[in-house]
Structure 1
Amino acid sequence: MHLLVNSVAASGAALLPQVLEKIFATLVYTPEGQSINNRSRAVKNVRRHAASLMVKIGNKYPLLLLPVFDQIRATVENLSRPDGPAHLSCLEKVTLQEALLLISNHFGDYDLQSNFVGEVLREANTQFLDVVNAAPYQAIPKIYVDITGSNIVFCVNLLLGAVKRCAWPDDPERATRGGFVVSLTESGNPVCRNPAAPHVVPLLPHILSLIKIFNELFTPEAQSLIHDSYKGCLAMQETEKSNLLGLIGHSVSDGGDTQVVQSPLERMQQFLTGLHESCYHMMGSLGPSLGRDLYNIPNLGLAITNSVLSCLHSILSNIPMSDIIIIDNTEHKLVYVRYR
């Protein structure tokens, strides 16, 4: 049995360069006449699946990828360049970075892994703080609004990726040797620190502020200020309605080769819904991921109450679906709940 496992591992390692080459070739696939602004649904799906495959391999076979980590990282950095050949979307960039973060979980060294996580998040942190420190909204060009919105999506989703993917070693001995263990419980179990915590925790106040802004959008005062063209931007998306009605996947033609053109309202709906849900998924993952680094934050409960749980009356009275975080004091964790 041991020989069989070694044989499979050896054959996998031998085929790995070819597999990675195919994945990255698929990731940059762009038919003639299409660009990042007008890709068809089929092309988007192909590229998304290629990026997701890197995450799946990084999750299931990280030790297979660890010896070629530097090569994969260099390829990802090259593809992620703004002037690079791939013209990756924000979510494609995030997905590839998630794959790298999964592999880094097997560095076995807290400082090495934490430094790498810091490098991954550096661009996102800078962009996020630029948005936070920007001047109040005035009459600014639409292209600037698009870039700012894209930056926020990239930052929030990359931060979410770090929260979900970064972890300490499962083996207590490896965790101790790698510098992940900071103390022991009364029963002698190790208490570990997450290498992403030093880079995630400083941004949590801004994430909570963003969630509070989302919640305040449902108040009557905010609703009265929304332009008539965007009055429905907080409503459930048509795709979600179709999912609930079981209409997805039953059409005769899926229109995979069709270049989808969204209206401004649909784009705003997608932007707000995606960003809102990413923030709440992040909050739901913080407890299990960061552990002590989260619960040691002073006045954490008050901060959550004043942001995540703010304006709930307006939210529940205006929409059929809302996302709520509940603090479970019995198990010291945040619980993600979706109401429909």
Structure 2
Amino acid sequence: MSEITTVGLDLAKNVFHAVCLDRHGGEVRKKVLRRARVLEWFANLTPCLVGMEGCAGSHYWARELQALGHEVRLIPAQHVKAYVRGQKNDYNDARAIAEAVVRPGMRFVAIKEQVQQDVQALHRMRAGVVSERTALCNRLRGLLTENGIVLSQGIGRLRRHIPALLEDGENGLSGLFRELLARGYRQLCELDDHIEYYNGLIERGAREREAERRLRTIPGFGPVLASAFHGAVGDGQGYRRGRDVSASLGVVPRQHSSGGKAVLLGISKRGDGYLRSLLVHGARSVVLRAPGKEDRLSRWVQRLVAERGVNKATVALANKLARIGWAVLRHNTVYQPA
């Protein structure tokens, strides 16, 4: 039997499929693996190149297979689809992965360390609670409107007005609605406590992790953005240049060119929308504080605002901040305004 040089592994919850190729690209073997037998099977395999789609659980399996001596590459799922031949099934998917992983010029996903995944889990939990709090506030405000009480937008206003409404016996609210409103207020306070807890973890990590301390030297990078950016980009080794980072986050123009004519549209909005929104918010804070400052970045922002307007200048600055953040991580340095 020919020596196995490449393995395409189609991940799943419980049943995995592997297709093995030799150095000539010929299929040598295919195998169905239960989840508990995956590491045992690869441990008995000569170290080779293993390709997987970048999906749920892929970073965990990549670290485990690397520990066994294999070279692991994660491929974006959309790049694998072009290599699927015939109808879609698990073996065809695994064979497509094995063929795509050895293609010249193929783009790969950087394998995340455990710390990066922990940081991303923290941000996912925080974002989920923030979304729940927003939904709760909108619900309470709508129910109050149905009872003839209109409150302006803002979580702080709800926190201030709901206790007063519960104490006011002349506002016409029924006993049942007061009970429901009190329960909603307690839920709001509980969600506030959860968000405060997650913010504390982010603040602590931003102080303890050296990479995040360096990121916070960049204008617009606070604890939340520094933590999320480090969790997504890591040490920057997975990107060739800063533009690749900004392109992956969707803060570059979308292109629709043909016949040698370059046509640039609005920003692409690809990639992680959560991190992109944090970058834009950080850039907006820098734009608002740029007037009156004389450093190089502030002068560039002021000139761009005068030429293009605040919103376009904000997105352009978000693009620049993403590139600066990659350079700080990749070259192990700090932001140098001069």
- What range is the shorter-chain TM-score in? under 0.3
Q: When you count helix as a share of all residues, which structure comes out higher?
A: 1
Q: When you count strand as a share of all residues, which structure comes out higher?
A: 2
Quick one: higher RCO (CA 8 Å, sep 6+), 1 or 2?
1
Return the index of the structure with the highest Cα Rg.
Answer: 2
- The alignment's TM-score, normalised by the length of structure 1, stands at 0.25
